[in-house]
Copies of this chain bind each other. A is one copy, B any other.
Amino acid sequence: MVKIKLLLMIFILSLNNFSWAIEKDTVKYVNASLLTLINKAQPDSSFFQRLDERKYSDLTPIVRRYFTYSTGLAIAFQTNSRNISARWETESNKFGVNTTLIAQTGLDLYIRRNGQWVFAGVGTPNYGVNHQSKLVENMNDSLKECLLYLPLFTKVKNLDIGVDKDALLEALPVPFRHKIVVIGSSITHGASAGRPGMAYPARLNRALGFEFPNLGISGQCKLDAFLAHIAADTEADAFVLDVFSNPSPQQIEERLERFVAIIRKKHLDTPLIFLQTEVRDSGVFNEKIRKYEYEKRIAAELGIKKLEQLGYKNIYFVNPGMDLGTDHQATVDGVHPSDLGFERILDKLQPVLVKILHRHKIR
C-alpha cells in the first residue's frame, strides 16, 4: 500500500513537472511590482496595499487588517501578447457568503478599446491561497493597454502576470488624471460586487478616467478620528464619503463635526462629497431596522446642515446617495448592493458627481 502511494506520488510529481516545463517554455512571468499601480491612497506603503497601516497606532485590529487588503488597486501595463494569465498569492481568509470568491480573492482584467476600458476576463481563484488562472486567450497581437483589478477582500502577497514568451510586457504610464479618494463602508469596499472591477469606485475609475482609491472598510466606517486623520494625510482632489452607512444615529451626531474638522486642518477646501446611505431592504418588514435606518438618515441630514451652519465650504451632500430603486431586488442580502444595485446607484450618482467635480475643474 505504501509502495503504491509512493509510486502514485512520484507519478503525480512528474506530471506537475511536465506541465510546468511546457508552461515555462511558452509563458513569461513578470512581477506586478515592476508595473504601474493605480488607485493607491498613499504612496509610502507595501506595494499591494492601499496605505501603510503601520503608520497609524489607533486602528482597531479589523481595520488594521482591512488596510492590508488590495481593495480597489489595479495594475496598468501594456502587452502585445495573445494570451494573458496570472499567478498570485493571497492570505488565508474567512470568506464572506454574500460576495463571489472572484470578487473577494480574484482578478478582473480590462483592455482599452476606442478609449473605453472593456472587460476582458477574470482571474479565477480557488479556496486556498495560491492561485493560477488564465485571464484571456486567443487575442490578436496588437499592443493593448491593460488594467488588472486586484482582490477586494484579501491581502495580496505576490502577483505575477504571464504573457507569451516572446511578447512585450511593460508598465503603462498612469492612464488616469486626478485622484478622488472614496472612504466608506462595505458598500464602498465592494460587497457584493460580482468581480473586483464592479465595485462602484472601480466603475467610476474607468467611466470618468480619474483614479478612485478605495478606502472602504466593511462595517467599520464609523466617523472615527483615525479615519479622519487618514483622510487628512491622503492627497486627493476630492473625497467621496460613504460615512453614514455604518455609524449609529448617535455616532453621526457626536462625531461628524470632529471628523470634518480633522480633515479640514489639512484639506482646507478640498470638496467633501458626502453620500446619504441607502434605504436598506432589510428594513422592508423589520420595523426595528426600518426605524433605526430612518434615524441614521435623519442624523446625517441634520449633521450636514450643521456643517453648513458652521461655515464649512465645499461640503456636498448627495441625497439620495445610493438609490437602489423601489423593487427590493438590488441587494444580495438586504444590505449589500449586487451589480444591479451598483448600476442603479451609479445611474443617479455618477452625473451628480461629475457636476460637482466639474465645478472644481476636475474633468
Interface residues of chain A, those whose CB is within 8 Å of chain B, are 95, 97-103, 106, 111, 118-122, 124-127, 136-140, 192, 194-195, 198, 203, 281-282, 284-289, 328-334, 338-343
Decide: A289 and B334 in contact? CB cutoff 8 A: no
Decide: A195 and B102 in contact? CB cutoff 8 A: no
> Across the interface, which residues of B come within 8 angstroms of A138, CB to CB?
286-289
Decide: B340 and A102 in contact? CB cutoff 8 A: no
Decide: A287 and B333 in contact? CB cutoff 8 A: no
Complex: A331 Cα to B126 Cα, angstroms: 19
> Across the interface, which residues of B come within 8 angstroms of A334, CB to CB?
119, 121-122
> Across the interface, which residues of B come within 8 angstroms of A106, CB to CB?
97
Q: Which residue from B100, B118, B192 sits with its C-beta under 8 Å from A328?
A: B118
Decide: A333 and B118 in contact? CB cutoff 8 A: no
Decide: B333 and A102 in contact? CB cutoff 8 A: yes
User: Chain B nearest CB: distance from A73 CB in Å?
Assistant: 19
Residue of B nearest to A289 (CB): B138
> Across the interface, which residues of B come within 8 angstroms of A192, CB to CB?
100, 194
Q: Which residue from B102, B139, B289, B331 sits with its C-beta under 8 Å from A287?
A: B139
User: Chain B nearest CB: distance from A184 CB in Å?
Assistant: 20
- Contact A102 B281, CB 8 Å, known A138-B288, A287-B140, A288-B138: no
Decide: A331 and B100 in contact? CB cutoff 8 A: no
> Across the interface, which residues of B come within 8 angstroms of A139, CB to CB?
285-287
Decide: B284 and A333 in contact? CB cutoff 8 A: no
- Contact A102 B98, CB 8 Å, known A120-B284, A198-B329, A339-B338: yes
User: Chain B nearest CB: distance from A263 CB in Å?
Assistant: 32
> Across the interface, which residues of B come within 8 angstroms of A102, CB to CB?
97-98, 332-333
Complex: A331 Cα to B121 Cα, angstroms: 10
Residue of B nearest to A328 (CB): B119
Complex: A172 Cα to B192 Cα, angstroms: 33
User: Chain B nearest CB: distance from A88 CB in Å?
Assistant: 14
Complex: A343 Cα to B331 Cα, angstroms: 13
Decide: B329 and A127 in contact? CB cutoff 8 A: no
> Across the interface, which residues of B come within 8 angstroms of A338, CB to CB?
194, 198, 338-340
Which of A288, A340, A342 has its CB near the most chain B CB atoms (within 10 A)? A340
Complex: A198 Cα to B289 Cα, angstroms: 23
> Across the interface, which residues of B come within 8 angstroms of A195, CB to CB?
332-333
